Amino acid sequence: MYVYMIFNVPTLKLLTGSILVGLSGVFKLHIAFLLLGIAPDLKIYLACFLIIYATYTLDRAMDNEEDKINRKELDSSRKDIALGFCFVSFLAGSLILSLKGLLFIAFLPIIIGYIYSKGIRIGSRKLKLKGNFGMKNLTVSLTWGSFIAGISHGMANSNIVFLFIFPFFTIKSFINTVVYDFRDVKGDAIAGIKTLPICLGEIATRRLLQGLHILLHLWIAASMLLMFVMVEAVLFLVSWSAGLIYTWFYTRQSPQNETKSRKFMRDALVDGEFILAVFIRTIIHL
């Protein structure tokens, strides 16, 4: 009974809500390794998961105004327990990365994540990245693009990383965060967060995301043809197809009573895109 009181349903949702995002980050890093011809490293993958899990769970555990509307199911969760999980997860992940000389990369997401969620005071002003026009999306995308590119560069020591790996995962992350902004339009509007769907409107934002998606994949296709990165046709085609689907079907404000199947399909395509890509590639190469 005591364990149940501590780990109630909202707390379990809080603790497990970032697992898929963490796994998605691992598969992004694996794809970066494949494109660069780097041998898989399970310890580095574990560290990647732990850092991403800690960062996103930290954001979910913070009491933000918009989350009171967008994440009502977490209202009675034990935020102190979640913060403890964040600390242990980050500590373990940073220790693994430090053994590879990548300690700085470990601190990058968690520091930016805190500024993003809670902000820091500089004199009389408070710097908070979450509430400014487009800054939320740029912050998240640049953070994870830099995180994956930084680890990849540390393992490969090649400047190709900054020409192809960094822009690929940065722009992909940007698109994904904006797609999720369509889900949270109501809460963001009430909290005064100026997301792209709110400021630009549905149609303009959809066209922007689709344009970025097409240009990005043309750039990656050209890099494969010119042999700047390894040719991974299956990964490319899955990423191309998944992006076309979610930038069309999920760039509309979510209905008030969104069905579980719609939520599942969105998460499977957006957060699970790279998991699906690696799975299909593995099956084909058997």
Average pLDDT, whole number, for the chain?
85
Amino acid in the structure at residue 71: R
Q: What is the pLDDT of residue 286?
A: 77
Q: What is the pLDDT of residue 75?
A: 57
- The residue to which tokens 């209202």 are assigned: 75
Of residues 176 and 129, more confidence is placed in: 176
Flag the least confident range among 119-133, 188-202, 271-285: 119-133
Q: Per-residue confidence at 3, pLDDT binned at 50, 70, 90?
A: very low
| Tokens standing for residue 268 | 């499977």
Q: CB of 148 within 8 A of CB of 29?
A: yes
Exposed/middle/buried for residue 275 (C-beta within 10 Å: 0-12, 13-18, 19+): middle
185 has pLDDT over 50: yes
Q: What is the pLDDT of residue 218?
A: 96
pTM of the model: 0.87
| Tokens standing for residue 195 | 């997301």
pLDDT, tens digit, for every residue of 5-60? 456 777 788 888 889 899 999 999 999 999 999 999 999 999 999 999 999 888 87
Q: Per-residue confidence at 1, pLDDT binned at 50, 70, 90?
A: very low
Q: What is the pLDDT of residue 90?
A: 94
CATH number of the domain residue 251 falls in: 1.10.600
Q: What is the pLDDT of residue 130?
A: 61
Exposed/middle/buried for residue 268 (C-beta within 10 Å: 0-12, 13-18, 19+): middle
Q: What is the pLDDT of residue 36?
A: 94
Rounded-to-integer distance, Cα 193 and Cα 164, Å: 31
Q: CB of 277 within 8 A of CB of 238?
A: yes
Q: Per-residue confidence at 115, pLDDT binned at 50, 70, 90?
A: confident
| Tokens standing for residue 110 | 């968690």
133 has pLDDT over 90: no
Rg (CA), the chain: 19
pLDDT, tens digit, for every residue of 60-98? 777 555 555 555 555 556 778 888 999 999 999 999 999
- Interior CA angle at 43 toward 42 and 45, to 5°? 60
Q: Which DSSP state fits 17?
A: T
Q: What is the pLDDT of residue 268?
A: 87
Handedness of CA 160, 164, 167, 172 (dihedral sign): negative
Amino acid in the structure at residue 276: L
Of 90, 133, 82, 88, residue with least CA distance to 109: 90
% of residues, the chain, pLDDT over 90: 49
Residue 168, C-beta contacts closer than 8 angstroms, at least 6 positions apart: 145, 216, 219, 220
Rounded-to-integer distance, Cα 254 and Cα 183, Å: 5
Q: How many domains does the chain have?
A: 1
Contacts 24+ apart (CB under 8 A), 24-28: 24/271, 24/272, 24/273, 24/274, 24/275, 25/49, 25/52, 25/144, 25/147, 25/148, 26/52, 27/274, 27/275, 27/277, 27/278, 28/144, 28/148, 28/169, 28/172, 28/274
pLDDT, tens digit, for every residue of 228-268? 999 999 999 999 999 999 999 999 877 777 788 888 888 88
Residue 107, domain extent: 2-285
